[in-house]
Amino acid sequence: MTKRPEGRAPARPTIKAVAAAAGVSTAAVSQAVNGTGRLSEATRRRVLDTATELGWSPSASATALRRARTRTIALVVRRPTDVLGSDPHFSELITGLEGELAPRGYGLLLHLVADMAQESALYERLAAEGRIDGAVLTDARADDPRPELLRGLGLPAVLLGAPDTASPVPRVGLGQQGAGIREAVGHLLELGHRRVAYVAGPAELLHTRLRLHAFEERLAEAGLLPVAVRHSDFTERAAVGVTEELLALPDRPTALVFPNDSMAVCAIGTAQRAGLRVPGDLSVVGYDNLSLGRWVHPRLTTVDQQVQRVGAAAARTLLVGCGEDVPPPVLDGRPRLVVRESTGPLPSPA
Amino acid sequence: MTKRPEGRAPARPTIKAVAAAAGVSTAAVSQAVNGTGRLSEATRRRVLDTATELGWSPSASATALRRARTRTIALVVRRPTDVLGSDPHFSELITGLEGELAPRGYGLLLHLVADMAQESALYERLAAEGRIDGAVLTDARADDPRPELLRGLGLPAVLLGAPDTASPVPRVGLGQQGAGIREAVGHLLELGHRRVAYVAGPAELLHTRLRLHAFEERLAEAGLLPVAVRHSDFTERAAVGVTEELLALPDRPTALVFPNDSMAVCAIGTAQRAGLRVPGDLSVVGYDNLSLGRWVHPRLTTVDQQVQRVGAAAARTLLVGCGEDVPPPVLDGRPRLVVRESTGPLPSPA
DNA sequence: ACCCGCTGGTACATCGATTAACCACTCCGG
DNA sequence: CCGGAGTGGTTAATCGATGTACCAGCGGGT
C-alpha cells in the first residue's frame, strides 16, 4: 500500500522539459516532431529519442489553440425514439469511421439529440467553441438544413444517404439505395408474388423516398401497384402494428418489405403469432443485413448496404476536407440483396 | 482570388471582440461568463448580452489549455469480434451517459479498439495529449489493469461491471449481476426444470464470473448441478454452435440461460430449426431486455439490468471526479427478471 | 579582407482565455 | 482630515506549442 496522496497529478512533461533534456530550444522540438524547419538528422533524432524517453506527446489543447484544428470529428445521432438501441446501423457506421480516423490521430465526438432543432443548435455550439473540425451528417432529409448550416459555420461535412447532386457539402454512398430494393422486388416477382406491401421509414428521410421510389418503379415495370405503403418510425413496436394492419387487409399482401432488419424480424414474429407460416404464407424482406438475421428461424432475406464501407469513405472525405493528406475515398460496393429463408414462392391458392 | 473559393472562414469572434463591443476588458468578459470575480450586475448583464449578440462562446481549446480541463470523457469499446454490431448494450450505455454529460457541456469521445493492449495504449495516448478528463471503463475483467493505469495517469475513471470492493477508481452498478440470474434460475426451478445449462460470456470478464457463480449457487440451493456450462464470446454464431452442441447432449437440458438477448434469439431459432418447440420442449432465457425480444415469437424471457441508468450513474460519478458540482449518483434499480413466453413448464416426459 | 550563401539552429510574438495582483474611487467612523 | 474597508473594475503573466524572423558560423570566390 503506497501512501500516495490522491489526485496528485503526475505533471505531464511539456515541450519545455523535452527541450531542456535534449539541450535544444522548444522550437527545435516542435520542428523535430512536425518534420518542419531545418534540423540536422542528428538533432532531430536526439530530440525524438528524448521525447519518447520522457513519454511526451504534444498537448492537444495547445496544438488545437495554435493551429485552430482539433483533430476531432462530430457524429450526432438524432434519436426521436429509441432507434439507436436496436439499429446496428450506427454501430457499423462508427466502426467504419473509426477505422480511418484513429490511425490519423483523429477522435470521434459522439452526441445524441432528440430532433433536428437540437441537432442544429448543437453544431452551432460545437463550432462556436471550436470543438470540432468537421461533422458526419446522417439520415439526409428531403430539404436538409444541415449542409448549408455547416458551410456557414465554415466546417467541412459529409452527408450520408443522399444522391450525389450539387450541394454545399460532399455526399457519400448510400446513394444507390434504389438498387437493393429493386433487386429485392425483382426477387419477389420471380417467386411469383403480385401483392407486395412496403413499410417505409419516416417520410422526411431522403433515403426513405429513394427506396420507396425504387420499390414503386420496379413494381410498375412489372405492371403492378403496391398493395399498400405505410410509413413508420424504425421501432419494433411500429413493425408489429403495421404488420397486424397489413395482414388484416382484404387483399392481404403475400410479401412485406421492411426498412430494417429489426422490424422484419418482429414482423415475422407477429405473422407467426397470427398463425401464418413464413415464408409459406408470407414472405418478408429486411434491410441492413444485421447479423442476427442469419440465425433466426427462418433466416432473414435482407439487403446488405455495407454501412461500414460507407463510414470509411465518409471519414476519408472529411479528412480531405480537413486538409489531411489521405487517399481519396473509393466506394465500390452498392447495396446487394442477400437471399435466405424468409422469402419463398407464392403460396398456392387454397 | 482567395485560396478557399466559398469556404471563407466566418472568423469566429474572440473574447477580445466581445470585450471591445461591451467596452470592458477581456478579464471582465471572462468573469462575467464564469460568474467569478466581482462585477456589478449591470456590467455582467451587458457583457452577457453582447456575447450572445455576437454569438460568442469561449474557445474550448483556449479554455482547455488554460484550465487543463477539456470537458471530454472517453468511452473505449473493446470489440474483439463484431460484438458492438449487435449488442444494444453500448447504445443504451451511451444514451445514459449522454443524458448527464451533454447538459453540463461535456462531450463523449468514442474509440474502438481490438484488445486490451490497444485499449491501454489508447488511454496513455489520450492522457499524454491531454485530450480527456476521465474515462468510462466497461466490461471489468478479473484482474483489470485499467483502474491502476488510469490512476497512474491521474485521470478519474469509473469501472462498470464489478463489485464495489476497494479499488483505485469508483465502480458503478452492474454489481448485483447475480440478482437477475438468481431470479431467472428460481423461475426455471418453479417451472419444474431440473436440467438447466448456462452459456456464459468470455471467462476473463468479471460479470461473467459473477453471473456464473450466482447461477451455480442458486442451483446448488435446490440441490442441483448445472447440466452444462459453456463459455463463448457474445456473437450470434457462437450462440448457434453452443446451442447445437447442448441439444445434442445425452441428457439434453430443458432450459438454456444466455448472457445476452441476441444469443438467446438465435438459440430459439436454432432449436426451432432442429424441430424443437420453444418453450414446449426447451425454455430459453436471455439477458439485457433488448426491445426486439418483446416482439419475436415466442416473446423472450430476459433479465433487464437497466444499462441506461447505469450509464447515467457512471457519468455523474465521473463528473464528480472531474470536480463538477453535481448531485451524487443514485442507483436504485437492480437487475430484474422479465418473464415472457420463451420459458414454460417442464415438458412432460414422453 | 570582404561579402555571399548556406547550414543549423534560436528568440519571440502569438493563438484565446483565465486569474492573481493591483489600482482608482467612494464611503465612513474617529 | 485621515486610515481602512469595500466596490468595481484593469493589467499583465500564463497555459503549451507553433512559426516567422533573425542570427552565428563557416567555406569559398574575388
pLDDT surpasses 80 at B288: yes
pLDDT surpasses 90 at B167: no
Instruction: Return d(Cα B183, Cα B186) in angstroms, integer.
Output: 5
Instruction: Answer whether A15's CB lies under 8 Å from A56's CB.
Output: yes
pTM of the model: 0.92
Q: Which residues of B touch A153 (CB under 8 A)?
A: 10
Strand residues in chain B grouped as ranges (E):
72-78, 107-113, 134-137, 157-160, 171-172, 196-200, 228-231, 255-257, 283-285, 302-304, 336-338
Q: Indicate the pairing of strand B302-304 with strand B336-338.
A: antiparallel
Q: CA of A98 to nearest chain B CA: how many angstroms apart?
A: 7
Q: Which of B14, B91, B93, B243 to mutate to test the interface with A (most CBs of A within 10 A)?
A: B91
B292 closest CB neighbour out of A75, A86, A90: A86
Q: Which residues of A touch B12 (CB under 8 A)?
A: 127-128, 130
Q: Is B143 exposed, middle or buried (0-12, 13-18, 19+ CB in 10 A)?
A: exposed
pLDDT at B169: 80
Could you tell me the pLDDT band of residue A7, with boundaries at 50, 70 and 90?
A: very low
Question: Inter-axis angle of helices A206-221 and A177-190, to 10 degrees?
Answer: 30
pLDDT at B174: 58
Q: CA of A83 to nearest chain B CA: how many angstroms apart?
A: 10
- Omega within 30 of 0 (cis) for the link into A349: no
Grid coordinates in use for A103? 490511425
pLDDT at A349: 64
Q: Is B154 exposed, middle or buried (0-12, 13-18, 19+ CB in 10 A)?
A: middle
| Alpha-carbon distances, residue A311 vs A91, A93, A292, A304, B346 (angstroms) | 10, 5, 21, 14, 48
Whether A12 and B130 lie within 8 Å, measured CB to CB: yes
pLDDT at B243: 98
Whether B57 and A128 lie within 8 Å, measured CB to CB: yes
Segment A154-169 mean pLDDT? 82
Q: What pLDDT digit, counting tens, does each position of B225-254 carry?
A: 999 999 998 888 999 999 999 999 999 999
Instruction: Return d(Cα B43, Cα B104) in angstroms, integer.
Output: 25
Query: Residue B131 contacts by C-beta under 8 Å, 6 or more apart in sequence?
Result: A60, A107, B70, B72, B74, B109
pLDDT at B175: 56
Query: Residue B297 contacts by C-beta under 8 Å, 6 or more apart in sequence?
Result: A268, A269, A270, A272, A273, B341
Grid coordinates in use for A340? 435466405
Instruction: Answer whether B169's CB lies under 8 Å from B156's CB.
Output: yes
pLDDT surpasses 60 at A176: yes
CB within 7 A of strand D: which residues qualify?
Answer: A 14-16, 26-27, 29-31, 33-34, 36-37, 56, 58-59, 62-63, 65-67; B 24-28, 31, 37-40, 42-43, 62, 65-66, 68
User: What would the DSSP string read from start to end of B108-156?
Assistant: EEEEEESSHHHHHHHHHHHHHTT--SEEEEPS-BTT-SHHHHHHHTT--
Instruction: Return d(Cα B243, Cα B41) in angstroms, integer.
Output: 70
Q: Residue A344: what are its φ and ψ, rounded to 5°?
A: -155, 180
Could you tell me the pLDDT band of residue A10, with boundaries at 50, 70 and 90?
A: low
Whether B128 and A268 lie within 8 Å, measured CB to CB: no
Whether B86 and A130 lie within 8 Å, measured CB to CB: no
Segment B317-341 mean pLDDT? 89
pLDDT at A191: 97
- What's the gap between Cα A75 and its chain centre? 9
Instruction: Return d(Cα A175, Cα A163) in angstroms, integer.
Output: 5
Question: Inter-axis angle of helices A41-54 and A26-34, to 10 degrees?
Answer: 90
A296 closest CB neighbour out of B84, B154, B265: B265
R_g over Cα of chain A: 26
Neighbours of B280 (CB within 10 A): 12
CB pairs under 8 A between A and B: 192
Q: Helices then strands (H, E): number in chain A?
A: 13, 11
471526479: which residue's cell?
Answer: B321
Q: Which residues of B touch A64 (CB under 8 A)?
A: 60-61, 64
Amino acid at A82: D
Grid coordinates in use for A130? 471550436
Q: Nearest residue of A to residue B67 by CA position?
A: A61
Segment B244-272 mean pLDDT? 96
pLDDT at A2: 37
Whether A153 and B55 lie within 8 Å, measured CB to CB: no
Q: Is the CB of A31 under 7 A from strand C?
A: yes
Segment B265-277 mean pLDDT? 96
β-strand partners of B284: B256
